[in-house]
């Protein structure tokens, strides 16, 4: 899958302060995202920390025409510092919010949400499973 280097220039470089880094994975760890997030058209509303340790930063439900992109974990966190609160998200879990800057809800990837969410998110999460996100690989 081709990677668009020009898109990553839109993001500022990650912080060089290692003491401020909360993730167990180093900042240069590759993660998956969508072209919509990378180009700043959409905020990260869904984070998946897969069983194998991979991270995915998505704008929500992935559509068939969305394009997968890779990004360094440090660049993702620098572009959206609110992602730092998810540094302790266990493998096999996901976190989601309804809008940028909103409260993150966490749950195992196979769980059904009990949090009060808008109907579209509730319906999608009730049908979703970790395997749906494998299309990014």
pLDDT for position 127 = 52
pLDDT for the residue 72:
95
Residue 120 has pLDDT above 60, yes or no: no
Distance CA 15, CA 94 (A): 25
- What is the DSSP pairing of strand 68-72 with strand 105-108? unpaired
pLDDT greater than 80 at residue 83:
yes
Q: How confident is the model at residue 130 (pLDDT cuts 50, 70, 90)?
A: very low
Q: For 42-71, what is each residue's pLDDT tens digit?
A: 899 999 999 899 999 988 776 667 778 889
What global pTM score does this model have? 0.71
Q: Where are the alpha helices (DSSP H) in the chain?
A: 5-8, 35-38, 73-79, 119-127
Q: What is the pLDDT of residues 4-15, one digit of tens each?
A: 343 433 444 444
């Amino acid at each position: 899958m081709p990677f668009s280097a020009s898109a990553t220039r839109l993001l500022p470089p990650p912080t060089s302060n290692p003491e401020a880094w909360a993730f167990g994975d180093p900042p240069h760890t590759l993660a998956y995202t969508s072209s919509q997030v990378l180009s700043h058209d959409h905020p990260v509303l869904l984070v998946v920390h897969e069983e194998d340790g991979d991270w995915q930063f998505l704008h929500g439900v992935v559509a068939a025409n969305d394009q997968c992109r890779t990004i360094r974990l440090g660049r993702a966190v620098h572009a959206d510092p609110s992602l730092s609160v998810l540094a302790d998200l266990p493998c096999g879990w996901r976190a989601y919010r309804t809008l940028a800057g909103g409260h993150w809800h966490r749950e195992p990837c196979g769980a059904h949400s009990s949090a009060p969410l808008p109907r579209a998110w509730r319906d999608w999460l009730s049908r979703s499973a970790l395997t749906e996100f494998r299309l990014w690989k």
